[in-house]
């Protein structure tokens, strides 16, 4: 059976009478590959030389790239991508591409080729960030940027940010990634401390976003409603949570989209603290939904 499968994979069998997978014209394979995802194409490329040749065609991979992939390449030194095939360009852009002094990253989703983005806490304006009575910068492997901002205590809590980028036409979701409680490693285990965590159950935090073409979104959320969280078995303390701010639509891929976003709790009648701010994510909305349902990995 193994010999039969091998002969079908490489071409005709030993008698020369029965065609194998290797006899399929590359043009036919290319038509099939147009409807497959990049991981599926790469898996099939392992079968034989015909599949490998078809899977390397620029005509296939240019369809998997977003219309503005050149804008992503322009963030890199030209020598990084000169003379690259479209397949190699897709692989290059599937890894994070930093910009704005490394405080922001953009990349392609490996399955869909859709554009995703992240903004580090260092790329945002945080009230009081330079005063160590209120905030500390903490290095950690739990952040894609390897550094987060930790709030000890403050009365006026405000985090603002802006990003300008020629995003492809799509519907995007913006969310903040935050963590209640201070974590550390003890005897090789991750442990959390909540000695500084307070004030988030008194008044809600307000999240907002706006775009240059007039789109607005906002929501309010109690970050530490322990009684409600216990009833819903939805524990927010001690883990990273992405809080959705809202959605916005990009209809024109040729113009620069400017998105402003904020997270604030500026009621000065009480202090609040014990919170990490990691980053903001901008991800195509249905891509988030598919990953939540386990359709995409």
Closest C-alpha to 64, from 81, 39, 47, 46: 39
Among 4-18, 50-64, 89-103, 114-128, name the one with the lowest average pLDDT.
4-18
pLDDT surpasses 60 at 87: yes
Q: Which residues does 251 contact at the CB level (< 8 Å), separation at least 6?
A: 169
Tokens of 62: 């240019």
| Residues paired with 284 in a beta bridge | 172
Q: State pTM to two decimals.
A: 0.85
Distance CA 87, CA 57 (A): 8
Which helix (H) or strand (E) element contains residue 174? strand 170-180
Sign, Cα dihedral of 46, 51, 52, 54: negative
- Domain spans of the chain, in order of start: 26-95, 100-106+111-293
8 A C-beta contact, residue 152 and residue 136: yes
8 A C-beta contact, residue 100 and residue 123: yes
Q: How much is the mean pLDDT over the chain?
A: 87
8 A C-beta contact, residue 152 and residue 196: yes
Distance CA 232, CA 228 (A): 6
Tens of pLDDT, residue by residue over 265-278, are 998 899 999 999 99
Distance CA 23, CA 19 (A): 6
Query: Alpha helix (H) ranges present in 172-244?
Result: 226-232
8 A C-beta contact, residue 134 and residue 144: no
What CATH class is the domain 100-106+111-293? mainly beta
Tens of pLDDT, residue by residue over 137-156, are 999 999 999 999 999 999 99
pLDDT at 253: 83
């Amino acid at each position: 059976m193994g010999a039969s499968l091998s002969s079908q994979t490489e071409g005709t069998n030993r008698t020369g009478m029965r065609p194998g997978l290797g006899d399929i014209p590359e043009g036919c394979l290319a038509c099939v590959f147009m409807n497959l995802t990049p991981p599926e194409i790469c898996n099939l490329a392992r079968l034989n030389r015909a599949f490998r040749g078809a899977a390397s065609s620029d005509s296939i991979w240019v369809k998997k790239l977003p219309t503005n992939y050149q804008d992503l390449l322009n963030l890199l030194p030209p020598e990084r991508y000169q003379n690259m095939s479209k397949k190699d360009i897709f692989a290059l852009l599937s890894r994070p591409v930093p910009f704005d002094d490394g405080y922001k990253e953009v990349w392609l989703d490996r399955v869909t080729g859709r554009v995703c983005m992240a903004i580090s806490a260092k790329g945002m304006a945080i009230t009081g960030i330079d005063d160590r009575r209120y905030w500390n910068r903490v290095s950690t492997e739990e952040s894609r940027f390897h550094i987060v901002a930790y709030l000890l205590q403050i009365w006026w809590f405000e985090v603002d940010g802006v990003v300008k980028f020629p995003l492809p036409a799509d519907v995007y979701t913006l969310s903040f990634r935050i963590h209640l409680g201070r974590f550390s490693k003890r005897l090789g285990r991750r442990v959390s401390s909540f000695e500084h965590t307070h004030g988030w159950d008194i008044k809600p935090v307000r999240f907002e976003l706006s775009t240059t073409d007039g789109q607005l979104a906002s929501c309010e959320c109690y970050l530490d409603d322990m009684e409600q969280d216990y009833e819903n078995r939805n524990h927010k303390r001690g883990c990273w949570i992405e809080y959705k701010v809202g959605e916005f639509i990009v209809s024109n891929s040729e113009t620069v989209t400017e998105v402003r976003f904020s997270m604030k709790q500026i009621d000065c009648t009480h202090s609040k603290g014990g919170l990490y701010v990691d980053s903001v994510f901008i991800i195509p909305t249905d891509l988030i939904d598919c990953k939540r349902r386990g359709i995409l990995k």
